C-alpha cells in the first residue's frame, strides 16, 4: 500500500517548488511516485476553470480519486494543491492510512512578491475574485503533520524536512 504527501498552502507559498524537490529525493531513494499538481491537472480536468464551489468540489474529488488509485497501486503520491477547503484534504486523509499533510506558511506580502502566475495582481485588479486567501477563504489544516514557514525556510530545506519525516535519509 502506498502513501500520500499533501503539500497545501495559500497560492504562491511554494507548493510546486517544494514538491518537485521532494520528488527528486524520492526518486534518488528509488521510491515509486505519482505527482498530482493542481496547476498541471487543472489544464486537463477544468481547462476553462471558473473556480466555483461546485467546480472545486469536482476538481478535488478527482484528485482524491487519483490519489487513492495511486496508493492502491503502491506508490507514494505527492499532491501539491491549495485545496482551500479543509474537507478536500480530509477526504483523502480518511481514505489513506499513511497520510502526511504539510502546511507551507508564507506571509502574504512575500506570496504577492513571488507570485509566478500574477494571481494576486489579477485579484487586486478585480479580474479574479475567487483567489483563496484573497476573496475566498483558505482553511489551513487543523493538525498537519508538518508546518513549514516557506517564507524563511529555503525550498531545499523544506524538502529535506519532509523527506526526513517520510523516513528518507
Per-residue pLDDT of the chain (169 residues), as tens digits, is: 899 999 999 888 899 999 999 999 999 999 999 999 998 998 999 888 777 889 889 999 999 999 999 999 999 999 999 998 999 999 999 999 999 999 999 887 777 777 766 555 555 666 565 656 666 788 999 999 999 999 999 999 999 999 999 999 6
23 Cβ neighbours under 8 A, 6+ residues apart:
33, 35, 78
- Where helices occur in 47-107 by DSSP H, the ranges are 53-72, 86-95
Reply yes or no on whether 163 is catalytic.
no
Question: Choosing from 13, 80, 150, 163, which is the catalytic residue?
Answer: 80
Predicted local distance difference test score (pLDDT) of residue 81: 96
Radius of gyration of the chain (CA): 15
Domain parsing of the chain, residue ranges: 3-165
Let me know if domain 3-165 sits in CATH 3.40.50.300: yes
Q: What is the pLDDT of residue 72?
A: 97
- The predicted pLDDT at position 129 comes to 59
Amino acid at each position: 500500500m502506498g502513501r500520500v504527501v499533501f503539500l497545501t498552502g495559500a497560492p504562491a507559498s511554494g507548493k510546486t517548488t517544494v514538491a518537485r524537490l521532494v520528488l527528486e529525493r524520492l526518486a534518488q531513494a528509488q521510491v515509486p511516485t505519482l505527482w498530482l499538481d493542481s496547476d498541471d491537472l487543472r489544464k486537463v480536468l477544468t481547462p476553462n476553470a471558473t473556480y466555483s464551489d461546485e467546480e472545486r468540489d469536482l476538481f478535488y474529488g478527482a484528485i482524491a480519486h487519483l490519489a487513492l488509485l495511486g496508493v492502491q497501486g503502491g506508490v507514494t503520491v505527492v499532491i501539491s494543491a491549495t485545496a482551500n477547503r479543509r474537507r478536500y484534504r480530509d477526504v483523502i486523509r480518511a481514505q489513506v492510512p499513511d497520510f502526511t499533510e504539510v502546511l507551507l506558511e508564507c506571509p502574504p506580502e512575500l506570496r504577492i512578491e513571488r507570485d509566478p502566475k500574477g494571481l494576486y495582481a489579477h485579484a487586486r485588479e478585480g479580474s479574479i475574485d475567487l483567489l483563496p486567501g484573497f476573496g475566498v477563504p483558505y482553511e489551513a489544516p487543523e493538525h498537519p503533520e508538518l508546518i513549514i514557514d516557506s517564507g524563511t525556510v529555503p525550498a531545499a530545506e523544506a524538502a529535506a524536512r519532509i523527506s526526513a519525516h517520510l523516513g528518507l535519509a
